[in-house]
Amino acid sequence: MLLFIGPILKQAIANQQKSFRNKIFRIADMGSSFGPNCLANMQFMVEAIRKHERLEHASQKKATNGGICRLHLQAFFCDLPSNDFNTLFLQHHKEYSHFHEEGGCFTAAVAGSVHGRLFPPFSLHLVFSSSCLHWLSNIPRLILIEEAPEWNKGKIWVDGPLSNEAAGRAYAEQWNKDFVMFLISRFEEMAQHGLMFLRYLAEIDVMEAISSGGKIIYINGVLDQKDLDTFNLPLYFPNRREITSALKSAPNLRIQYFEVMTEDVGDKYWRKFMEDPEEGAKKMTDFYKSGLWNVIEAHIGSRKCETIFERCENLLKEDLKGQSSKDSYWIYPWSSYAILQLIKDA
């Protein structure tokens, strides 16, 4: 996603660096996960800071020690204790050893929920989060109670117009509670003039393939009705109004930039895989599995989980074979997202 958010993020960092005078700069990636994207994101931010520092030194003719930068960076990867931090740091030391060059960038893991405090007060200068804040801390309790109007019978999440209104409201309220707690926690942890740069999925319906795959294997006898009725994905994609409303709970964070963007990512990246239905279906299924496997497996077990994704791949393959345009909305669903920059002024 750096292809789309990179220029905005780079400019935000440059603007912040113009007034930054400390010798230690701390970056925290909230909900980092452990895949290659989190390392690429951190590398991008480190390089943006270093580039600005070199330009500033050159313009002021203050380069010392052969032009080595003097700003010391600390980079924190933050996620739940179940995150595979070992894989993250093995990859980090294998491919990103240059983090420690040019004055030092010291990395560490922080295990805990981003919906609460993780750092001491006034300690962070740049808070970054990408593809994390649509995850809920918990499934709303009433969703699983059969007698409640919020009961989400036969569905795995609140997929827009296909869900009942009460279930949708319960998910929206849980997201609001989680996001407000995230903002309050980060406000306490950020230093004065700290920057928060958030990117998260918004205003989309994305689970057609997974939902259909689950229902079809239920009909075929692999899942039982209880499997479907008691499982819900802890995801919610807020709209602009919901985001704006939540921000009112953190009035001391100034909005520097806020935009809900839609990119035709399929044209820019995924389309090249879609001419071959076999390859396209496998690529897209692997994409779904990377984000959803753990939460589905925990509910129904690995065998049933594998069957769902096999059926998902078959559905994608059939859809691709039957299309001339290759534009099904769930071939690449993650195309609408919010970018939010917040500044702590006091």
**Residues 23-48 pLDDT 10s:** 899 999 999 988 778 889 999 999 99
> What is residue 275's DSSP assignment?
T
Strand duo 72-79 + 24-30: pairing? parallel
Q: What is the pLDDT of residue 330?
A: 46
Give the mean pLDDT of 253-279.
76
d(CA 272, CA 280): 8
Q: Lowest mean pLDDT: which of 163-167, 248-252, 260-264, 298-302?
A: 260-264
Distance of CA 123 to the CA centre of its chain: 23
Nearest-CA neighbor of 49 among 79, 31, 75? 75
Within the chain, how many helices (H) and strands (E) appear?
A: 11, 7
Q: What is the pLDDT of residue 217?
A: 55
d(CA 22, CA 24): 6
Strand duo 190-201 + 124-130: pairing? parallel
Q: How confident is the model at residue 211 (pLDDT cuts 50, 70, 90)?
A: low
Distance of CA 157 to the CA centre of its chain: 18
Q: How confident is the model at residue 295 (pLDDT cuts 50, 70, 90)?
A: confident
pLDDT in tens, 54-86: 887 777 665 555 555 578 899 999 999 988 899
Nearest-CA neighbor of 190 among 120, 246, 249, 245? 120
d(CA 283, CA 270): 9
CB atoms within 10 A of CB 87: 11
More confident of the two residues 46 and 233: 46
Q: How confident is the model at residue 264 (pLDDT cuts 50, 70, 90)?
A: low
Chain position carrying tokens 């239920």: 218
3-class state of residue 73 by DSSP: strand
- Residues contacting 210, CB < 8 A, separation 6+: 156, 288, 292, 308, 312
Question: Is the confidence at residue 154, as pLDDT, over 90?
Answer: no
Q: What is the pLDDT of residue 325?
A: 47
d(CA 111, CA 45): 21
Q: pTM of this prediction?
A: 0.83
**Average per-residue pLDDT for the chain:** 82
Q: What is the pLDDT of residue 133?
A: 93
Q: What is the pLDDT of residue 329?
A: 42
d(CA 215, CA 144): 18
- Residues contacting 88, CB < 8 A, separation 6+: 32, 34, 38, 39, 77, 109
More confident of the two residues 224 and 87: 87
CB atoms within 10 A of CB 165: 11
Three-point CA angle 203, 138, 117, nearest 5°: 95
Question: Is the confidence at residue 120, as pLDDT, over 90?
Answer: yes
3-class state of residue 257 by DSSP: strand
Q: How confident is the model at residue 192 (pLDDT cuts 50, 70, 90)?
A: very high
Question: Is the confidence at residue 189, as pLDDT, over 90?
Answer: yes
Q: What is the pLDDT of residue 218?
A: 52
- Torsion of the alpha carbons at 59, 123, 133 and 326, rounded to the nearest 10: 30
Question: Is the confidence at residue 228, as pLDDT, over 60?
Answer: yes
Nearest-CA neighbor of 284 among 235, 320, 233? 320
d(CA 90, CA 13): 28
> What is residue 135's DSSP assignment?
B
Nearest-CA neighbor of 126 among 15, 40, 37? 15
Give the mean pLDDT of 245-251.
89
Report CA-CA distances (Å) from 330 to 136, 204, 205, 213.
Answer: 22, 10, 8, 13
- 63: phi > 0 → left, psi -120 to 50 → alpha, else beta; which? beta
Q: What is the pLDDT of residue 124?
A: 98
More confident of the two residues 287 and 10: 10
